[in-house]
Amino acid sequence: MEIRDLLKEWRVWVLFISLIASTVMLAPQYETTDSGEYTISTSLDDRKSIEFSGGSRILLGLQSNATGEDLNDQVQQIERILGIRLSGSGFADTQVRSIDLGGGEQRIQVQTGSSNTTQLSQLISQQGSFEARLPIIVPDSKNFTIDETYNFQRENSSVTVTGPSGEIGTFEENDSFTADGTKLYFVNQTEDHARLEVTAYNGEEIIDVLSSQGRLESSGGGTQWSFQISIEQNAAERVRKIAQNYQGAIGGSLMLEDNRGPARLTYYVDGREETSLTVSSEFQNSVITRPSIQGGAESTEEAIDERDRLQALLQSGQLPVPVEVQSINQISSSLGGEFFTASIVSIIASLVAVGGVVYARYRDPRVVLPIIFTGASEIYILLGFWFSNFGTLSLSAIAGIVAAVGTGVDDQIIITDESTREKVESWSNRMKKAFFVIFTSAASTIGAMAPIVQPGLISLSVTASGIGLIGYTIYTRGTNLHYIGIGGLAVMVGLFTSSLEPSGTALQSIHQFAFTTIWGILIGITITRPAYAKTIEYIKQN
Amino acid sequence: MNAEKYFDRVYEDLDKYLAIPVAMILLASGVLAFNYATQGEFLAKGTDFSGGSEIQLDIQGEFQNSDIEDAFASAGRPQAEALTQTTGNQTLTIIELPPPTINEEEASSLLSDAGYEAEVVGLRTISAAVSSQFFLQAQVAFLLAFTTMSLVIFIAFKNLTPSVAVILAAFGDIVFAAAGMAVLGIPLTLGSLAALLMLIGYSVDTDIVLSTRVLKRNRGELRDRVWSSVKTGTTMSMGGIAGFTLLYIISYLMVGPSELTNIAAVMVVGLLADMPLTWIGNAAILKKYSEGEFERLNKVEEVIPSWK
C-alpha cells in the first residue's frame, strides 16, 4: 500500500474530519470583560462541574405524604418557586431540578456556583410562609376591632375571646385562632399583661415585590435596608382598621396604650420572628397598598443579603410543603482549580505510561506513535464532541477518560498483534477476528456502564434478551439448550430489578464516568480504530 | 526467551497452577467474610452509602489529626475520622462524620470553640434516608451490569463452558478487587462502585482475547494460540495498570486521597488480579475444554433427544 492510498482511505478521512471538527468546537474565543480586558475562553470553561469550578449542590427532601401525580405536582411547584427565589437572590449559575431516586422517591436538587451553603440552604429550605403581625396587649380586658369588635378577657394564664356572634374560645400561650378570617396568635404573657398578635397581611396577599425601590442607609452602627411591596386592597384596608386600635400622633408612630411604647410591626417567616419595626401613624388615616418592608443589619453586606433573601422569599411565594436539606456537596473554587490541574496532568501522564508499556512490547516507534496518536485523538474528539456540547467535566469524567483511553489502547494492541500473525490468512479475515474481540469487549463494557445511567431501560433490555434467548432456543429446536436456563435467569433479574423501580438519577455523580467511557468506546469503534487498522496495514506492508 | 520458557512450564502443569487463582478467590472471599463477621458488612460504606458528613478544612497552626477527632468527640460528635490531604500549596484536613449531618456553621463554630482557626473549604453531607436509597440503586446497577456483561458473553461465545470461564474470571476480579478495597481501606463510594462496574467490562477484554484465539482459530497448536493471547493480553493489562497507577500517583501527589485515587486503586487491584485469573484460571478451563473434557456439558441436547 502506498502512502497515497492510505491518504485516500475514507477511514483516515473520517478521523481527520473528526479532529478538525473537534478543533472548531474547542477553539478558544476572545471575550471582553466589563472592565475592558480581553480574556480567552473555550467552550469547556462552562462545562466544568462544581468539583472543578467550585460551588454547591444541595439535595432537598419533601415532607409530604403525597404520592404519584400529587407528588409530581408538588415537586414541579417547588422547582418553580425555588427557581424564582434563586434568580432573585444573586446566586451565580443556579440550577434547580427534580431528581427521581427510584422507588417513587422524589428530591429537588439545587446547584449554584457559590460555595456559601449556609446562606443557600437557609434560602431554599425555608417554606416561605410570611406574615406581618401587629400586637394586641391585653392587661385584664381589651376591645380590639378588625372588621368587627372583639373582646379579650385575661384570666389566670388564659385569654377568652368573644366576638359579635358569641365566644370564639379560651386560649393559652402559643395557641392560634381565626377571627373575621384573620389569624391571631397568643404569643406570651407576663404578670401585667398578655401579648397577642394579629396578622396585618400575609405572603399570599402580596401582589408584587418592588425590588427596584430597594434602599440601603447607614445609620448608627449598622445599615438599614428597605423595599416596597404591593399588597391587595382588602389587606391594605385591614391594616388601616387594625392601625386604628392604636394611639397615633401626626407624623409619628403608632403607640400602644399606657405608655407601653410603639406598636411594632413584626415580620415572621415560617413562624419565626425575622425583624420588627415601628409603624407610621399614616396607616390609621389612609389605605396604603404599597407599604415598605424594613430591617437592619450590622454590615452593609449582611443588610444586602438579608434584604435580597426576604425579597426572594416574598417574590417566589410559599412552598406547598416544607422541605429539608438532605445532602450538601460544597467545594471552594481554589480547591476545585487544583483538582482540575491534577486531572489534566493525570490524563497526560497515563497516556505517557501507556506509551511506555507499548514501547516496551513492540520497540518500534512506527507502531508506538500511531497508538499514542490514536489514544490522544480519542481524548481530543471526546472533548470536542461530548464535553464541549453535552458532558460535564468532573472527577468521575476524568477517570472515565483514562478508562476510555485504556480500552482504546487495548483494542489497538489487539489489532497490532492480529496484524502480525498468521500471514497465511487474508488481512480482512485477521481484521474480522480482531474486530470480533473489539466489538464483544465494547458491548460488555457498555453493558456494564449503561445501568449507571439508564437502569430502567437496561432492566427491560435484560428481560427482553432473556425472552429472546428462550425464544431462539425453541425456534432452533434446542440449539444451545443452556440458553433456556440463562434466558430464564435474565428474565428473573430483569423483573426483579424492574420491581425496585430503578432510577438513573440516583447515581448521577458517576454519570459522567459512564457517559465518558461509553462515548469513548463508541468514538473508538466508529472513528479511531478503523483508521488505526488501516494505518497499521500500511505500516506492516511497508 | 525466558518468559516463553516460563510460560511453557506453567502451561504443561496448568492443572497444578490452577491452585493459584482458586487460592486467590478463596483468600479474597475469606477477607470479605471476615469483614462481614466483624463489621456486619462486606465492605465499609463511604459517606455516599452510609450517610453522614465529610468536611474539608483549612486549619491553622500545629495539630495532630487525633486532636481534631478529640475536639469533635468532646463536642458530642464521636467517631469523627480525620485525615490529611495535601494539595499543591495547602494542607487540608478531611473529617468524616457518621450521621446526623452537620452544616458549615456548626463545623466552624465547633472548631473555633475548641480553639482552632479553621475555614471550611469543602463540605459533603448526606442524610441516612438518601444514602440508603443510593445504596439500593447501586446494588441494582451492579446486578444489571454483571447480568448484561454475562449475556453479551453468552451470546458472543454461544457455548456454555467458555462463557462460564470468562464470567468466572470477571467474578473473581470483582471479588479480589473488593477484598483489595477492604485491605487498603478504600470505602465503597459512588466512585469505587463506578470502578467495580468498569472492572466488570474491562477485565473481560483479556478473557475475550484468549477465548477467541483458542476457540475461533484452527491454525497452530493450542499452546501457541494461548501464548499469543498471553502476549497480547499482558500488554493490554500492563497498559491499563500503568495508566491507572499514574492516575493514582499524580492525583495523590497533587490533591491527596480523593475519589480519583479510589477509582484508580480499585482498577489497579482488579487488573492485577485479572492476570492470574485469566492466564491460569480461564486458560486451564479452555485447555480442558479444547481437549474435550467438558463434552457432556456442551452436548446437553443429546441428553434430551426429543428436542431433535
Give, for B220, the enclosing helix (H) or strand (E): none
Task: Say which CATH topology domain A333-449+507-541 has.
Answer: Multidrug efflux transporter AcrB transmembrane fold (1.20.1640)
Give A345 or B255, the one with higher predicted confidence.
A345
Which residue of chain A has the CA closest to B243? Answer: A350
**Residues A126-144: pLDDT tens digits?**
888 899 999 999 988 889 8
The answer to whether the Cβ–Cβ distance between B144 and A462 falls below 8 Å is yes
Listed by start position, the domains of chain B span: 2-44+130-294, 52-126
CB contact under 8 A, A330 and B122: yes
pLDDT, tens digit (0-9, with 9 covering 90-100), for A482-529: 889 999 999 999 999 999 888 888 788 888 899 999 999 999 999 999
Cell 495539630 sits at which residue? Answer: B63
Please spell the DSSP secondary structure of B130-142, one letter per residue.
Answer: HHHHHHHHHHHHH
CA distance B32 to chain A (A): 23
Interior angle at CA A145, CA A142 and CA A146, nearest 5 = 135
Interchain CB distance below 8 Å, A410 and B240 = yes
Predicted confidence at residue A251, as pLDDT, reads 65
Which value, in Å, is the radius of gyration of the alpha carbons in chain A? 35
Among A34-38, B142-146, B176-180, B189-193, the range scoring the smallest mean pLDDT is: A34-38
Rounded Cα distance between A185 and A178, Å, is 9
**Mind telling me how many Å the CA of B15 is from chain A's nearest CA?**
26
Verify whether the Cβ–Cβ distance A417 to B238 is below 8 Å. no
Calpha distance B128→A184 (Å, rounded): 38
Q: Which residue has the higher pLDDT, A421 or A470?
A: A470
Q: How far is A181 from chain B (nearest CA, A)?
A: 39
pLDDT at position B303 = 42
Burial letters A270-282, b for 16+ CB under 10 A, else e = beeebbbbebbbb
pLDDT digits (tens, 9 = 90+) for A4-13: 777 788 888 9
Per CB-CB distance under 8 Å, the chain B contacts of A403 are 198, 202, 267
Rounded distance, CA A200 to CA A210, Å?
Answer: 19
Three-class secondary structure assignment of A222-239 = EEEEEEEEEECHHHHHHH
Distance in Å, alpha carbon of A29 to nearest chain B alpha carbon: 29
- Binary contact (B260, A410; C-beta < 8 A): no
Does the beta-carbon distance from A451 to B246 stay under 8 Å? no
Residue B217 has what pLDDT?
67
| Per-residue pLDDT reduced to its tens digit, B229-249 | 999 999 999 988 998 998 899
> What is the third-level CATH fold of A50-126+323-331?
Alpha-Beta Plaits (3.30.70)
Of the ranges A110-114, A434-438, B279-283, B302-306, which one carries the lowest mean pLDDT score? B302-306
pLDDT for the residue numbered A27: 83
Alpha helices in A454-510 (DSSP H): 455-475, 482-499
Residue in A350, A409, A424 closest to B246 by CB: A350
pLDDT top residue among A180 and B277 = B277
Residue appearing with cell numbers 423483573: A495
* CA nearest to A444, candidates B258, B54, B202, B1: B202
DSSP3 helix / strand / coil % (chain A, rounded to 5): 50, 25, 25
Q: Considering only alpha carbons, which residue of chain A is nearest residue B56?
A: A331
Instruction: Please answer whether residues B254 and A341 qualify as being in contact, where contact means their C-beta atoms are separated by less than 8 angstroms.
Output: yes
Going by pLDDT thresholds of 50, 70 and 90, the confidence category of residue B304 is: very low
**Nearest CB to B260 within list A341, A354, A398:** A398
CA dihedral B174, A455, A58, A341 (to 10 degrees): 50
For chain A, the domains span 50-126+323-331, 130-316, 333-449+507-541
Crossing angle of helices A395-419 and A427-453, in 10° steps, is 160
Provide, as residue numbers in chain B, all residues whose Cβ is less than 8 Å from the Cβ of A490: 147, 151
CATH architecture for residues B52-126:
2-Layer Sandwich (3.30)
Question: What span, in angstroms and rounded, lies between the C-alpha atoms of B32 and A89?
Answer: 50
Percent over 70 (pLDDT), chain B: 93
B121 contacts A327? CB cut-off 8 A: no
Chain A positions in Cβ-Cβ contact with residue B243 (cut-off 8 Å): 350-351, 353-354, 402, 405-406, 409
Is A542's pLDDT higher than 80?
A: no
Distance CA B207, CA A462 (A): 22
What does the pLDDT average to over B213-221? 77
- Our CA-based measurement puts residue A43 at a distance from the nearest CA of chain B, in whole angstroms, of 24
Query: Is the bond leading into B100 cis (omega within 30 degrees of zero)?
Result: yes
**Per-residue pLDDT at B298:** 53
Alpha-carbon distance A139 to nearest alpha carbon in chain B (angstroms):
42
pLDDT of residue A1: 64
Q: What is the ipTM of this complex?
A: 0.86
Mean pLDDT of chain A: 86
Q: Give the pLDDT score at B302.
A: 44
Of B138, B148, B255, the CB nearest to A448: B148
Closest by Cβ to A447, choosing from B137, B149, B247: B149
Is pLDDT above 50 for A219? yes
* pTM score, whole prediction: 0.80
Give B301's pLDDT tier (boundaries 50, 70, 90).
Answer: very low
H helices within A363-509, ranges in order?
Answer: 365-381, 395-419, 427-453, 455-475, 482-499
What's the mean pLDDT in A356-372? 90
Q: Which residues of B touch A502 (CB under 8 A)?
A: 137, 140-141, 144
Helix (H) / strand (E) element for A519: namely helix A511-523
Burial code of A288-309, b = ≥16 C-beta within 10 A, e = fewer? beebebbbbbeeeeebbbbbbb
The 10 Å CB-count burial string (b at 16+, else e) for A86-122 is bebbebeebebebbbbbeebbbbbbbbebbebbbbbe
Look-up of cell digits 395557641: A175
* Reported confidence tier of residue B288, pLDDT bands at 50, 70, 90: confident
Query: Which residues in chain A have their CB less than 8 angstroms from residue B308's CB?
Result: 477-478
Mean pLDDT of A106-117: 84
Q: How many Å apart are CA B140 and CA B197, to the nearest integer?
A: 12
- Return the CATH architecture of domain B2-44+130-294: Up-down Bundle (1.20)
